[in-house]
Structure 1
Amino acid sequence: MARMGSMPFGFPDFRGATRQLVLANLVAYFLLAVAGLALSPAAMSYIGAHFSFVPEYFLHGWLWQPLTYSFIHPAGAVLGTLFELLSLWFLLGFLEPYRGANWVMGLYASAVIATAIVGAAIYQAADKVGHPMDQAPIYGCMGGIFGLLVAIGVLFGETEFMMMFIINIKAKYLAIIYALIAFAMIFGQNKLYAFAQLGGGLGALLFIRFAPRRGVGFAASEWVYGLRNRYYRWKRRRAGRKFEVYMKKQGRTVRLDSRGRQIEDDPNDRSRWN
């Protein structure tokens, strides 16, 4: 766990992945606000049902919802949306200089998707055991925000933040307090939302444990390039075998190694390659 001093009062730089995610959410908010002025309530309800996360719809094939629900912010919830976007700015901006844009993007995406998956799993499990949950749609990026907070609590737990602009509190304690609040919500009306938020924290923990240091995107590109290089090596070996067969038909014995280079009869004779 990294040890750092108190964070200065103020927001971090607005750039990189931080700027991209905050602006994407802001654009989505204003698009829905403008649509709300132009379309009927029935049409807006249709849009909300399609792009927010509804477990029953997801389980029946609406597989895009875990990728879209975090961008849905009700036009009337101005203060809630402002709090979410400021939290995104602060938490992402804190992590990005230390871990890089690709890593924080992967972390946030993992927390958001885990929020939806855990919500769907809890909804299905409750229905199977005969205690169905109320199916309120899940929207907004609070699951992703909780995942970012958990990541900071794990990686930079000794860092102190200003809580309520009054007192300093260490990041690990702030993450624990938020987790306890989410856990307490399980005993309230919106159990599904509480379980889903805890799923965002779980997704962040799994990402920290198993994700590559430079991010999933970098690891994926490395895997693709490795696959391409293995293909090229296979083509060289295949061409080498064909060449060996051709030379054998000409009455000569030629042997090639796995890199396509000729194997000399005298291993001490390296003049061919000098």
Structure 2
Amino acid sequence: MPQKRSSITLSIEEHEKAQLEQLALDFDQTWGDKPNVSKLLKAIARGKLRLAVNHDWSRDRIDTCNKALNLLKDAGQINEALELAQLLLERSELSHPLRQEIECWVNQPTAPWRTDLDRCIRLHRPFKLVYQDAADRLWNFTVRHAKIERHEDRQYLDCWCDETEGNQDIEPLRHNRSLRLDRIPDEAVIAPADGQWQPELSHIEIELHLRRGLALGYRTKTGADLTNEWLPEQQIRRVVRRIHNTFWFFREVRRYGSECVIVSPEAVRDRFKQELLAMIEQYNAD
């Protein structure tokens, strides 16, 4: 005997019927070339199509996915990054600026020079690089050590260069540069350079004293902090850290305010003090 079939009646508005028919077309649930709502409902009931709540991704989830996307981009895993970018672009919850940023990257996921740059870093081969600064001036650098790092939401090439002209950092760090990747011209060519690869960036050791809440809540920065000890007599935390660039170091220290004091070396302490005095002068001038 033929299997008995049940039927249901849907009480829906005309526009809702049209939306169901459009869904049937979108998911190839048709009879001939016409949408078939019954076939659509059967596919849902049998688990061939799954229902999901849309437009409910939280800001934290979007931010986490975007951070993961940037990590994949930094690691040079372009195919995986493109997959995650497409997933994000399917979400209606994206803010307009973030959507524009991701779409722009998807349209040109990597500059022609990026593959050569990654190869030189991986193989420890010195190379020549053209860079355009914020004032649109072109600089030629011979790079002998480099790594791609993220500083405050942007990708940078932290590198050791032969050339020191224009670098205002203290003398021991004068060979180090922090170059924004998006300021390397698209037409740039990564050319091989003679000589040896440097084992690491230039560095100095600095000593910090942390007080009050910062001293209690501070967490060791892996790969940077050499010493992290609590001094009960003085009620401070003593941190000795290796740094490669005073610009990024000062930006971090300013966030800590009066709870953080640079103790040594004197050249770094004095430079930071001069920056603070210049800021005070700006406020006194108003």
Per the shorter chain, which TM-score range?
Answer: under 0.3
Between 1 and 2, higher relative CO (CA 8 Å, sep ≥ 6) is seen in: 1
Taking structure 2 as the reference length, the TM-score comes to 0.23
What TM-score, normalized to structure 1? 0.23
- Higher alpha-carbon Rg: 2
Name whichever structure is richer in helix by fraction.
1
